[in-house]
Amino acid sequence: MPSTSWLFWALLSAGFAALTALCAKVGVNEIDSDLATFIRTIVILAILAALLLATGKFHNTAGFTPRACFFLLLSGLATGASWLCYFRALKLGDAARVAPVDKLSVVFVALLSVTFLGEQLSLKGWMGILFIGLGAILVSVG
């Protein structure tokens, strides 16, 4: 699978997300969940800053429009809220139950992208979304 494939990067994301849940669950057991989120954010900022510096992308300002910046701001706010809630859930619950419920975001994204972005899903796509939702519910109550 070539590294230019969206599927390649999505599978890597899923793998790293799994590691995130496991490492966060161990780390958050001993400190406050909000502080744990802050530490995670500092690490992410440092890694991204180093990556942007190393690749010279800090100077690439093409596409900086007020609209793009506004939606990136909203995305950042949503990400921060998601991370705070996720770490709090990990502090209180089992990673094996928290992570699947968190993945209900897949269902929400499908519904919102169809509603607001005009995207379309096939019948198989909708069936997959249904199974993801049902799977998350079954794991969380199991």
Averaged pLDDT, 56-79: 89
User: 81 is written with which tokens?
Assistant: 């809220």
User: 124 is written with which tokens?
Assistant: 């198989």
Q: Which pLDDT band, with edges at 50, 70 and 90, does 3 fall under? A: confident
Q: Which pLDDT band, with edges at 50, 70 and 90, does 141 fall under? A: confident
Specify the amino acid at residue 13. Answer: S
Alpha-carbon dihedral sign for residues 62, 65, 68, 71:
positive
Q: Are 25 and 90 in contact (CB under 8 A)?
A: yes
Averaged pLDDT, 20-39: 93
- Is the pLDDT score of 28 beyond 90? yes
How high does pLDDT run on average in the chain?
Answer: 92
pLDDT digits (tens, 9 = 90+) for 70-89: 999 999 999 999 999 999 99
pLDDT for residue 111: 96
pLDDT for residue 121: 97
pLDDT for residue 64: 85
Averaged pLDDT, 6-22: 90
What's the whole-model pTM score? 0.84
Rounded Cα gap, residues 141 and 85, in angstroms: 19
Q: Which pLDDT band, with edges at 50, 70 and 90, does 60 fall under? A: confident
Averaged pLDDT, 61-76: 90
pLDDT for residue 1: 66
DSSP symbols for 48-88: HHHHHHHHTGGG--TT--HHHHHHHHHHHHHHHHHHHHHHH
Alpha-carbon dihedral sign for residues 25, 30, 34, 35:
negative
